[in-house]
A and B are shown apart, each in its own frame.
Chain A
Amino acid sequence: MAQSEQEILEGLAEIVNEETGLDTASVEMDKSFTEDLDIDSLSMMTIVVNAEEKFGVRIPDSEVKNLKTVRDAVTFIAGAQS
């Protein structure tokens, strides 16, 4: 059930919106979670866990620190789904 990167981006934007209140349109591929979107580490963990459930993947804790941009997360999720 691999999804397109666009579908993953949209799903991820919904999760970010739910957790932080940020507008889904602001969740763009090249945005940094911490620097552009101002998402702290606690919110990031919630986003990761919710993404695992939504996309049916496992994102190891050790991988989370590598997910600096939205694109990093989308790419990782797409790779884990395939």
Chain B
Amino acid sequence: MTSNRDRRIVVTGLGATTPLGGTATETWEALLAGRSGARTMDFDWVAKYELPVTFAATIATPPIDVLAKVETRRLDPSSQYALIAAREAWADAGAPEIDPERLGAAIGSGIGGVWTLLDQWDVLKEKGPRRVYPLAVPMLMPNGPAAAVSLDLGARAGAHTTVSACASGAESMGYAIDMIRTGRADVVVAGGTEAAVHPLPISGFAAMQALSTRNDDPERASRPYDTGRDGFVLGEGAAVIVLESEEHARARGARIYAELASVGMSADAHHITAPEPNGSGASRAMLYAVERADLSPTDIIHINAHATSTPVGDVAEYNAIKRAFGDHTDNMSVTATKSMTGHLLGAAGALEAVITIQSIYHRLVPATINLDDQDPEIPLNVVTGEHQKLPDGDIAALNNSFGFGGHNVALAIRSI
């Protein structure tokens, strides 16, 4: 097949606000230090509703510390997080002068403005329709974050929202790649955001037994691949990257972190929440990404795995990796950064893309924490203890994201 990389796409800016820090750099440093972002929630609603899970990986830096007060009032938290991460990424890219009609935005979210939706429902019930905030609809709509970023940066090539549960943030990167490859834009600000540390999603995830209930030890609750894993730890935040055609980035002398070489996507069509046990759908996404990046499977030396710390999901992903890579599986260093960040749902794929890009750029893989007793059904070469140095020369990595609904997204990232 012909190369898909005739117009290479590079990463020139990174931004994130996460449970580990208010910026991409703070988050990266916390990952290298092996810190956990999970903590006991001190919100009054935890006791009020007698929630079965009393901890989460909540945002490290409250938006009110960063944004103007009026922005926090007029934007749902999901849009606030996206705006913070997008501004950081844009500044990190050098705030390039660009024709607004050549600048796009693609920001995914898994759940959307759930805080606004349910707060305003309370207002309606308690005070009547006249008191419902006139900005309720633009605040709760799932494309609100993409719109907020587009407005803030003046991105007029298009503002788009990918929605595929926990793959949303990674899928937005795929959308951005397509925007640049098809010539619709030269630069796209892409990422994911989620602000769902709210009693309803927590109750829903808990009802399906997806969440860890290790209430007495939050920092040790997210333990991908460990035999003691009992579910994921809900996180929140946003991560955004600036993508450019290589030509555009080189012409302006931009610092280039890595090449976002391709995206591979597939759907399981198997079950609404359970992954396909043999991993065939996810393996197709990975192999497609490898192929479209002009790589062979043996070129991949590192995977930042989806690895949410659920009993079923971690095994299914291993099966998919083994199916795709066969004997080469043992040669790849794998890390599960959700052990530290928690699971940011629609922002997870974007955050892990940022981390994988940082790993390629710095040639360091952060270690997975809380892996005390590795599940014998998941014999991956997991980085634990100290972070691992990646070799010099041309290297390539994958970042996996999977979402309820059977969405599989794999991103291939190459060194520059």
Contact = CB atoms under 8 A, between A and B. Distances in A.
A42 B69 contact: no
A49 B70 contact: no
Interface of B: 68-71, 73, 130-131, 133-135
B70 A20 contact: yes
Nearest to B68: A21
For the complex of A and B, the 9 pairs showing the least CB-CB separation, nearest first, are A21-B70, A42-B134, A45-B134, A46-B134, A21-B68, A42-B135, A20-B70, A49-B131, A49-B130
Contacts of B71: 21
Interface of A: 18-21, 42-43, 45-46, 49
7 contacts: A18-B73, A19-B70, A19-B73, A42-B135, A45-B134, A46-B133, A49-B131
Contacts of A42: 134-135
Given A20-B70, A43-B134, 13 more contacts: A18-B70, A18-B73, A19-B70, A21-B68, A21-B69, A42-B134, A42-B135, A45-B134, A46-B133, A46-B134, A46-B135, A49-B130, A49-B131
B140 to A, nearest CB: 14
Contacts of A43: 134
* A contacts with B: majority SS: helix
Nearest to B135: A42
A49 B73 CA distance: 16
Contacts of A19: 70, 73
A75 to B, nearest CB: 22
Contacts of A21: 68-71
A46 B135 CA distance: 9
A70 to B, nearest CB: 18
Nearest to A45: B134
Nearest to A43: B134
Contacts of A45: 134
Contacts of A20: 70
A23 B253 CA distance: 40
A42 B133 CA distance: 9
A46 B133 CA distance: 7
Nearest to A50: B131
Nearest to A22: B70
- Among the interface residues A18, A20, A42, which one has the most CB atoms of the partner chain B within 10 A? A42
Nearest to B70: A21
Contacts of B70: 18-21
B33 to A, nearest CB: 37
A43 B68 CA distance: 16
A18 B133 CA distance: 13
